[in-house]
Every structure is written in structure tokens, then in C-alpha cells.
Amino acid sequence: MTDTEARIVAVKWHDANTQAGWSSEADLPKPSPVVSVGWLVVDATDYIVICGTFDRQHKPGTGEAWNSSLAIPRGMIKEIQEVDMVVGEDF
């Protein structure tokens, strides 16, 4: 898949949160609502992968075109919106 074939999406999801040390119940961490934007490279049944960078100078077939990847389990995703933007091949 290339950057011109992949859709650009904004993903609203809840990220896990952690805290070390003693805390009262009221001070325990809660999931963090976040928004991530990138090319939707993997759209699997139980997760997606978005990437923020595509290298147009990569060697075809090497699988090394994508960078800044983020895998998000479907159970953490609240909403996915397609971003109305097309990156042309001459960009």
C-alpha cells in the first residue's frame, strides 16, 4: 500500500494510563481520551495501525515505507473519521 492508496484518518480513542506509588482510590489513574491522525495502513478485525510518515524513496517490496506507526486495539477506539485530504503524487 502507498500513501496515495491509504486513507488519512483521525482516531478518537482512550489510551491506557499508569501510575506508580501509593494512591487513594480517588487518585488512581483513568484512561486518557486522545486523538491520533495518520494514514490507515492496517484495518484488521481487532485493531488498526495508523502511520504518520511515508517514505516515497523506499525500495518497492522492502516493506520499509512507513514510519511513526501506532497500533490501536478496536476496544479502545471510540470513533474513526476520514480526513478530507488527498496527498498527490507530486506533493
Q: Which domains does the chain have, with CATH numbers?
A: 7-17+31-82 (2.30.30)
Q: Give the pLDDT score at 65.
A: 83
Q: 12-48 burial string, b = 16+ CB within 10 Å, else e? A: ebeeeeeeeeeeeeeeeeeeeeeeeebbbbeeeeeeb
Distance, CA of 74 to CA of 87 (rounded, Å)? 26
Write the pLDDT tens digit of every residue in 3-36.
667 889 999 999 999 999 999 999 999 999 999 9
Write the pLDDT tens digit of every residue in 40-86.
999 999 999 999 998 877 766 776 788 999 999 999 999 999 998 76
Q: Give the pLDDT score at 91.
A: 63
Q: Give the pLDDT score at 22.
A: 94
Q: Do residues 34 and 58 lie in contact, with contact meaning Cβ atoms separated by under 8 Å?
A: no
Element (H, E) at 40: strand 32-43
